[in-house]
Each structure stands twice: as structure tokens, then as C-alpha cells.
Structure 1
Amino acid sequence: MPRLLLFIESNTSGTGRLFAQTARALGFQPVLISRQPSRYPYVAEDAVRSIEANTADLNVLRSLVRQLALSEGVAGITSSSEYFIATAARLAADLGLPGPDAVAVAACRNKATQRRRLDEAGIDRVRHAEITDAVDAVQAAIGIGLPVVLKPVAGSGSVGVRLCATMAEVAAHARSLLADPTCGALLVEEVVRGDEYSVEIFHDTVIGVTRKHLGALPHFVEMGHDFPAPLATAAADRIAGFALAATRALGLTWGPLHVELRLGEDGPHLMEVNPRLAGGFIPELVRQATGIDLIRATVELAVGRTPVVTPIRQEHAAIRFLTPPDDGLWFATEGLEAARGAPFLRDLRLYRASPLLIARRGDFQDRLGHALTSAPTLEAAVAAAELARCAIRFRVAADGTGTLATVA
């Protein structure tokens, strides 16, 4: 029986390590195929087998995967990185292994293509335009009406996503994004009003709805999540049905999906469909609240098993991210012991260590850590997460003085 479970590149925020650990727990040998395995610290720390290869070259990967299949046997191929899910799906299909529809995943990964397909299906009609230069961005914004959201057609983690309130901002942000040679096109969208949620779907079944909390505009940094979202049953069902209609219209019914939307006075409006597990430790919130392990379920599905995704408890979970108060030299952290005393705390961690130069980017990379809680009620889980967050203070020398500031 084949024992290798291949991972094409990895998530960098912690999920990649959990995928490898889960593969081992299920009796498989995780093998990370990466252009630079050393960029993932857990590979060395957990002694994960890795193979260095050009993961941007599908032919190179196909040759390597065939060799591994012939010499050792491959049980499954997947990825914890959104950027390589379509690649992993193509490789799995080559070997007749389980996986999502590679064409559907690739189309979904292009936000402009995704919008067009949803328009054609009549799912949601958020005004938008795909552009390739700053002049066209301004013209699109004139047609849509200010303010607009400007973002790359391919991306993740709110990287490059910005609210533009003036034509000058539209032109400047478009020029900035398009200066990156890897950014071929941008999407200009109307601003969707309302509270933000995400729907966590697994194998065409809704697992639950997450309430998302964002930082200050003009950026869209996710600062926290609550699961399950505090919604009336009718509203939750409406959101869930809307999300399923979107994923089915895109041909996505296999495995984990993460649908982001906003709920306005006229109902839900789609932000985007992601053909992957949620980021931001939402799978851990789901596990804490329901007992459903979406990472384990994804690994099981990738090797042809039938996972169980039935809730075994009904609790509530919350996460609050820790961010620096300013740019500058982060040289110390205070309040960690006090934060660890928060009730219902399940996980408190810093992703990086001081001293470190901080230059905030307005995306997920601004996060320095998190506090994650679970409790019998949402109110208790949220209060505990906020208590831990507020206890932590980062010392950042923004002006060379090293003044004390509470985490934003």
C-alpha cells in the first residue's frame, strides 16, 4: 500500500506543519516538495522529508511525482498553500488520485474569472472590472463610482487589497501593484457594505459560518474571528445557501472551501470564493467549537478515505490577532504572563521574536501573534480573547525612544 503523501509547497502560518503531523498520525510519510524547503522552519524541526524542485514547472513536478509513484508509491497529493492547490490537483489527476477539479480551482484562483462566472450564473452581481494599467483603473472607478476596492486578480491574505476613495488613490495604488512583474492584472470592485462573514464548506456541506473582524481602512486586515457567528438561524441559513450556490456554480464540490461575503440590508454579497481551507486559524476555531478536524478530514480525503465531519460538541471559539502599534524597532514584549491567565485560553503564541524591524504592509503579515479561546458561550470566548489581547504590549521604538504602546 502506498505510504507517501506529497505536499506541493506549504502554508507559512502554521497549517503546513499540521498537515504534515496529521499525515504521520494517519500512518503516511509526509514529503514536502518545494523550491526552497528551508523557508519552512517546521521541515527541519519536525524532520519532515523534503525534496527540492522547481515547483513553478509542472513538467518537472510531473516527472518527479512519477518517479516517486514508481519507486515508493504515492497515496495522495495536496497542498496547504493556496498558490499550489491547482498544481497539486493536476498532479493527483495524472496518477488517478483524489482531488478537486484542477480546471475549476485554477479558474477560481483568478478573481476576475471567478467574478465573470458568478455573473453568468446569476449568483451575485458586484460591479467590477479587470484592468492592466492605471489609466484603465481610473476609468473603471469612474464607471463603478467611488470608493472602490482595488486588488490583484491572484492573491491571498489581503495582500495588495486596498480601499481607494479618490481617483488619485486609484491611480497610485494601481501603479504600485502593477510595478510588480508577477502582478499581471487587477480587479476594481464596488465597495460592498455590511458585516463580514465566511462560510466554511467541506465536500459540498456547510460546516459553519464565521464572523470576521477587520482592522482600520483603507486596508482589510483580519484582526479576529468568532465561530460560530452570532446569527439568527434564518440569516445563517441564507448565508450558507448563498455560499453553496456560488461554489457549485464554480464547479467546486470537492474538499475544503472558504467563502468570504458581507451581509448587507439587501442580503449577502460575495467577496470571494477560496478553493482551500480557511486561513487565520479558522480550522482550529472549528475544531475547538465542534470537534470537527478539517485538516484531518482534508488529508483523509486526499488519500481516498471518507472523513467524518459530524459535530461532537457545541461550543464557541474566538481568536484575536496581535499587531504592532507602529512601525519601527520592536525590541520587547510585556504582558505575556497576564495574557496567559485569561480564562478559556487555548493558545497564545507569537509568530516572531524581537528584536525585529517592523514595517506594516496592511495585510496578514502585520500580525505578530494571536490569542485563541473557546468557551460554552460566545460572549465568554470573545471576552477572554479580548482580555488576553489587551494584556499584551509591544515595545516599538518608532522614534528611537522605545516608548510603550498597547497592541493595536
Structure 2
Amino acid sequence: MSATGGRHDEDGHHDAAGHRPGGPWFAFLESNTTGTGREFCAAARTRGMRPVLLTRDPGRYPYAAEDGIDIRVLDSGDPDAVLACCTRLAAGQAGLAGIASSSEYFVAAAARTAAALGLPAADGDAVARCRDKERQRALLADAGVPVPAFTAATTVPEAVRAADGIGHPVVLKPVSGSGSVGVRLCRDRAETLAWAGELLGRGTDERGNPVAARILVEAAVTGPEFSVETFDDRVVAVVAKHTGAPPYFVETGHDVPAPLPRADADALGATALTALAALGLGWGAAHTELRLTATGPVVIEVNPRLAGGMIPVAVRAALGTDLVDTVIAKSAGRPAPVPAAGAGHAAVRFLPAGREGHVTGITGLPDAEAAPGVVAVAAGTAKGRTVRITHSFQDRLACVVATGADAAEAAQRAADAARLIRIELEEPAAPEEGVGGR
């Protein structure tokens, strides 16, 4: 099946328009729905490969239809189905150059499938271990990497006892997840009781995949937040993170590079590399989140994938390093791109949802694109969609990336441009009396 209805031979020799382009396939096992998900496909094409998206639900990816990306519909959570599909692609005339995923939930499966076919890949088992936040925390703690005090819980009483033992405030989160989904600060027993019940009552994640009835209770660590973007065993950038008001941790922006003293940036980078080594990682991209406390860096979590949140776009704009293309090159066994000149500083700012409603229009995107220093503008929603407040990355309706002479100028430009974007919402219809009530 093709995103635009184009046909395929069994070997996939036709692209979405029914033509016969040259070059091997590059398979993406699911994807980010916005931002770098689209850029991954574009980077593969630029390198002469043909991106093909392996997905359970093509409707999640409007860009695939817009860009004429080939699609194979399958159960992306079934390793055998994924391997069978990639085996067919590899056996075809064009061949298969590589397999990757920009989605947190599929990086381990993509790595294991690539390895099974003899293609370049990270250690899929190490990636899978890292995806389980409890196992990750235990491995880091055993290796002496500073992490918050933590306990896993499978019932609400266990979560409350864990919080009492650690001491409030605590942070509750799913043992697997992404984009701040389900992450909340609980300041007392009542909040812990309520949020543990909410998390443990969820049977699926935001993609509809089953989730384990297990959560992590950890000490709330104070100090500014950062991420360290690495590739293999090299620190590419230390990024300052901005988040919304407690008790949630929704990211509202990023600054690249973080405006920090060199000693602090070096300490954050060194801690991230130590964490990767302890987890058996260090192949390809990783995104490590930390807080800088009074006693030094503390690892909040390691993500064995390229950063989301348009951070790679900001890194490219500020530092000239194209992390998206570097991931594609590594996964296809090709030379990494040579870094270009960067502007020195870049910032990402998001437009958050202020309320729920149906999107009736989006205006101001061209104005934002034309604003000083702006290098990228993206809408995270579309006309006809419904906006819900989820206290996660899904609440970000648009984003802007801008450059500047310093961190302050880049941040101001990005914020000013983001304010030019208008997401018009229509109030959800109230249920009629006697219909849809309790």
C-alpha cells in the first residue's frame, strides 16, 4: 500500500507515484508524527535511498501522503511481521540499505531487525533494557552513576509506601514512555494516591500499545534541566530545557547550546557518556536528560535515540551538525556528513494549547517563517483535529526554531515568532441533557 495510492510490485519496485526510482530502500519502523520524522525520510531521499514507512496506522502520518512516502501496513508491534517485511525488501532488486526508527517505542525493534539482516545497528537488547526505566535506573545506580532515589510499584498502596519511604515530593511516571506522558510531580500522599491510581489504571499508551501495570516512584530532584545530545561516544551539544509549571514536566522550549559555564557543560557531558557506557550503549544517537544540582549532574533518564522536540533542527542551525543525516548515514553504513558552519546559537519555542477544542483554522505560519532569525516553523496539529489537554508533548500545537547572536537573542526571536501563530479553536459541543452524562 502506498501513502498516495501508488502501486507496488511485491519487491516494492515502484514508488508512491508509480515510477521506478533508483537506489535501495531505507525502512522506518513507525516514526515521529511531526518534526524530525519527516526529516528522516527527506534525509534518506537526499542520500539516494527510498524511504518506506512500516506502520500499523498510516493515518498518523499526514506528511507521508504529502511527500509521497511509500508505506507498508503491518502490525509494527509484531517482530516476526516486521522481519518478514524487511526480508522481502532486502531480497528485492533494489535491496535494503538500513532500518531505523525515530519513535521511542520502536528503536529496539528496529535495531534487532537490522541486526538480524546483517545491517548496521545498535545493540537491540541494550536498547530494550534502557527503555524500561526501572531496569535503566538499577543499572545506572549499580555503576555509580548519580540518579534519583527510586522504587517501582505495581499497586497503589505500593506506590504510596514507596513515596513515604523516599519522602515527598516525588515524581511518578510509567516505566516506559516518552514525551512526558504520564509524568507528574506529587507533593503529598493524596496526590500520590490519586496519580498512582490514574497511571496503574491505564491499559494502553498514547499509541494504543499495551502497557505494563508498573510505575516508577522517584525522588524529585531540584536544579535546572538539560539534555546532552551524543553520537557514538562523542558529545555533540548540551541543551538547556524549559518546562511548564508544576506539577507536570511538559517541555516548552530548548536553547542550543545551553548558556552555561564550560565546567558545568563538561560535567553534564561526562556524566551522560558515563551513563551510556553503563547501559551498554554508545552506538549512534542518544538523548540523555539530566538536572544540575548543587552537588553536580543527576541523570533523569537516558533515551537511546535521537532527540525529539525539534532539537536536531536547532543543533544543525546553531552548530552545523546534521544529526538526522548522521543517523541515516550510520544506519546505512555510509560516511557521516561533514559539519557545516552554524549560527552559533539557536532556540526552540513551542506554542502550547491553552484550552481544548476543535481546530477550525491555523494562521500566522508565513508570518512566523518570515520573522528575523527563524529557520523552521511547524504546526503540530491541523484543521479538523481535536485538541485535548494531556499535560504531555501532545499539548504543543506549533513550534519555531530561530537563531541569534547569543542565547538570549535566539530565545527572544523564537518566542516572538511563535506568538504570531494562531490556532483557532471551536469549543467542543456540550452533551445534550440526558445524553452522554453519568
Work out whether residues 199 and 210 of structure 1, in 8 Å CA contact, stay in contact via their aligned partners in 2. yes
Q: What is the TM-score of this pair, normalised by structure 1?
A: 0.93
Runs of 5+ unmatched residues, structure 1: 401-408
Q: Secondary structure at the match of 2:122?
A: coil
The answer to which of 169-178 and 285-294 deviates more is 169-178
Work out whether residues 325 and 394 of structure 1, in 8 Å CA contact, stay in contact via their aligned partners in 2. no
Q: 2 CA distance for matches of 1:311 and 1:119?
A: 38
Q: Structure 1, residues 341-372: CA drift from partner, whole Å, max 9, x if none?
A: 53212223322235654321100000110121
The CA RMSD measured in Å over matched residues stands at 2.0
Provide the residue aligned with 2:16 in structure 1. Answer: none
Task: From the superposition, tell whether residues 329 and 97 of structure 1 become closer, same or farther in structure 2 (CA, over 3 Å).
Answer: closer
Q: 1 CA distance for matches of 2:124 and 2:275?
A: 17
Work out whether residues 325 and 337 of structure 2, in 8 Å CA contact, stay in contact via their aligned partners in 1. no
Q: Structure 1, residues 373-393: CA drift from partner, whole Å, max 9, x if none?
A: 012222211111122234445
Of 59, 63, 80, the match for 2:84: 63
Question: What does residue range 6-405 of structure 1 map to in structure 2 within 5 Å?
Answer: 6-72=27-93, 73-181=95-203, 182-184=210-212, 185-308=214-337, 310=339, 312-313=341-342, 315-329=344-358, 331=360, 339=368, 342-354=371-383, 357-392=386-421, 394=423, 396=425
Query: What's the CA shift for 1:210?
Result: 0.4
Task: From the superposition, tell whether residues 128 and 317 of structure 1 become closer, same or farther in structure 2 (CA, over 3 Å).
Answer: same
The answer to which of 152-161 and 302-311 deviates more is 302-311
Work out whether residues 26 and 52 of structure 2, in 8 Å CA contact, stay in contact via their aligned partners in 1. yes
Q: What is the TM-score of this pair, normalised by structure 2?
A: 0.87
Query: What's the CA shift for 1:39?
Result: 2.2
Q: Sequence identity of aligned pairs in percent?
A: 45
Runs of 5+ unmatched residues, structure 2: 1-21, 204-209, 430-438
Query: What's the CA shift for 1:308?
Result: 3.8
Task: From the superposition, tell whether residues 398 and 29 of structure 1 become closer, same or farther in structure 2 (CA, over 3 Å).
Answer: closer
Partner letter of residue 329 of structure 2?
A: E
Work out whether residues 362 and 382 of structure 2, in 8 Å CA contact, stay in contact via their aligned partners in 1. no
Work out whether residues 2 and 74 of structure 1, in 8 Å CA contact, stay in contact via their aligned partners in 2. no
Q: Structure 1, residues 230-264: CA drift from partner, whole Å, max 9, x if none?
A: 01111111110011000111111100000000101
Work out whether residues 324 and 396 of structure 1, in 8 Å CA contact, stay in contact via their aligned partners in 2. no
Q: 1 CA distance for matches of 2:339 and 2:428?
A: 53
Work out whether residues 297 and 309 of structure 1, in 8 Å CA contact, stay in contact via their aligned partners in 2. no
Query: What's the CA shift for 1:336?
Result: 5.7
Partner letter of residue 172 of structure 1?
A: A
Q: Secondary structure at the match of 1:240?
A: helix
Q: 2 CA distance for matches of 1:198 and 1:311?
A: 22
Work out whether residues 349 and 418 of structure 2, in 8 Å CA contact, stay in contact via their aligned partners in 1. yes
Q: Secondary structure at the match of 2:34?
A: coil
Q: 2 CA distance for matches of 1:49 and 1:341?
A: 32
Q: 1 CA distance for matches of 2:277 and 2:312?
A: 22
The answer to which of 60-69 and 41-50 deviates more is 60-69
Work out whether residues 317 and 343 of structure 2, in 8 Å CA contact, stay in contact via their aligned partners in 1. no
Query: What's the CA shift for 1:270?
Result: 0.8
Q: Secondary structure at the match of 1:229?
A: coil
Q: 2 CA distance for matches of 1:39 and 1:355?
A: 14
Work out whether residues 325 and 396 of structure 1, in 8 Å CA contact, stay in contact via their aligned partners in 2. no
Task: From the superposition, tell whether residues 391 and 14 of structure 1 become closer, same or farther in structure 2 (CA, over 3 Å).
Answer: closer
Partner letter of residue 61 of structure 1?
A: V
Q: Secondary structure at the match of 2:211?
A: coil
Work out whether residues 146 and 299 of structure 2, in 8 Å CA contact, stay in contact via their aligned partners in 1. yes
Work out whether residues 147 and 164 of structure 1, in 8 Å CA contact, stay in contact via their aligned partners in 2. yes
**Count, aligned residues:** 400
Task: From the superposition, tell whether residues 310 and 398 of structure 1 become closer, same or farther in structure 2 (CA, over 3 Å).
Answer: same
Partner letter of residue 10 of structure 1?
A: S
The answer to which of 106-115 and 35-44 deviates more is 35-44
